[in-house]
């Protein structure tokens, strides 16, 4: 029974010894497409012949709560969880959740944060009068945990320029691919989108992904 080690004889398994694991953390709130984004990346990584693991939470944790989803790919991946300070890239669909994900970033690892500026106010702020930090404050806090933190008006852009309101996730992913923040080929990601997104929405999502790639 071969269960522990990847089958090295399998075609496509060509990563060199030097290939370092890539750690991606995708965060947001239930319903924002966090899992979909992670699944697209996972499919793309498999397409490129890498081992891949993702970690997700379902059920109680999903209802309006924060959703952290981890994707790790490389030669051989054991744990599906990204360790503190070890993310290469954090994509957040919500500014406050980007701040919560600071846990996964570090200056040493040269983590890149990319987050959507569209806020979803948590009830604690409404009922207990806590304050929601400004985008500027979030960016400056994230500086201590990254080499770069990019705030992107992704939802605004997608709403204004496309017929979709739910494809911010692929737009952000496109942006990260365009900026080479993620070590996967564009063509592999498109394959991933094809595999994960229902057929009738594929063309639209691909288009929004391309808009993200082209975003300066």
Partner 1 sequence: MAGNFLADKGKAILLGNEAIARGALESGIGFASTYPGTPSSEIGDTFAAVAKDAGIYFEYSVNEKVALEAAAGAGMSGVRSMVSFKQFGLNVASDSFFPAVYAGTKAGFVIVVADDPNCWSSGQSEQDGRYYSRMGHIPMLEPSNPQECKEFTKLAFSLSEKFKMPVLIRLTTRVSHTKGIVRFEKIVKGKTKGKFDKNAYRFRNFPPYLMDVHRKLHENLEKLKAISEKTELNLILNKGGKSDMGIITFGASFNYVMDSLDILNLKLPVLKLGMTYPLPEKKIKDFIKDLKTIFVVEELEALIEEKVRELAKDANPQIKINGKDLLPVVGELNVEKVLTALMKITGEKNKIDLKKHLNLFNKLKIPVRKPMLCPGCPHRATFYAAKVAAGHDTVFGGDVGCYILGVFPPLDTQDFVFSMGASEGIVHGIMKVTDQKAIAFLGDSTFFHAGLPGLVNIVYNKSNPLVILLDNRITAMTGHQPNPGMGKTGMGDETKPISIEDAAKGLGVRNVKVINPYNIREMIENIKEFLNKPEASVIVARAECRLLTIRKARKEGRKLPVFEIDPKKCKNCETCLIQLGCPAITRGKGVCRIEKDLCNGCSVCFQICPNQAIRVVK
CA dist., res. 134 & res. 118, Å (int): 11
For residues 103 to 142, the per-residue mask of contacts with partner 1, x marking binding by CB under 8 A and - elsewhere, is: x--x-x-----------xxxxxxxx--xxxx-------x-
| From 15, 19, 46, 135, residue interacting with partner 1 (rule: CB under 8 A) | 46
Residue closer to partner 1 by CB (options 40, 211) is 40
CA dist., res. 175 & res. 155, Å (int): 13
Residue closer to partner 1 by CB (options 60, 216) is 60
CA dist., res. 157 & res. 171, Å (int): 9
Q: Are 54 and 60 in contact (CB under 8 A)?
A: no
Write down the H helix ranges in 11-91. Answer: 34-47
Q: Are 177 and 212 in contact (CB under 8 A)?
A: yes
Only segment of 42-50, 146-154, 177-185, 202-210 that touches partner 1 (CB under 8 A): 42-50
Residue whose C-alpha is closest to residue 26's, from 88, 91, 82? 91
Residue closer to partner 1 by CB (options 126, 214) is 126
Q: Does 24 contact partner 1 by CB under 8 A?
A: no
For residues 56 to 75, the per-residue mask of contacts with partner 1, x marking binding by CB under 8 A and - elsewhere, is: xxxxxxxxxxx---------
User: Quick one: how many helices (H) and strands (E) in the chain?
Assistant: 8, 6
Q: Are 46 and 12 in contact (CB under 8 A)?
A: no
Residue closer to partner 1 by CB (options 107, 180) is 107
Interface with partner 1 by CB under 8 A: which residues? 1, 3-4, 6-7, 29-30, 39, 42-43, 46, 51-66, 77-81, 83-86, 96-97, 99-100, 102-103, 106, 108, 120-127, 130-133, 141, 144-145, 165, 195
């Amino acid at each position: 029974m071969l269960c522990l080690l990847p089958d090295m004889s399998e075609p496509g398994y060509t990563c060199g010894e030097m290939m370092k694991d890539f750690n991606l953390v995708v965060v947001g709130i239930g319903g924002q497409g966090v899992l979909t984004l992670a699944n697209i990346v996972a499919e793309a990584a498999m397409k490129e012949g890498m081992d891949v693991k993702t970690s997700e939470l379902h059920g109680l944790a999903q209802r309006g709560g924060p959703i952290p989803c981890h994707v790790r790919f490389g030669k051989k991946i054991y744990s599906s969880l990204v360790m503190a300070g070890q993310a290469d890239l954090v994509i957040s669909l919500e500014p406050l959740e980007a701040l919560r994900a600071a846990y996964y970033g570090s200056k040493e690892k040269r983590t890149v944060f990319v987050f959507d500026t569209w806020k979803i106010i948590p009830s604690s702020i409404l009922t207990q009068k806590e304050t929601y930090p400004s985008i500027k404050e979030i960016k400056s806090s994230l500086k201590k945990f990254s080499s770069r933190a990019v705030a992107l008006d992704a939802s605004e852009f997608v709403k204004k320029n496309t017929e979709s309101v739910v494809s911010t996730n692929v737009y952000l992913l496109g942006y990260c691919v365009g900026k080479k923040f993620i070590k996967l080929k564009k063509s592999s990601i498109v394959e991933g989108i094809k595999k994960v997104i229902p057929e009738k929405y594929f063309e639209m999502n691909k288009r929004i992904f391309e808009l993200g790639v082209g975003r300066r």
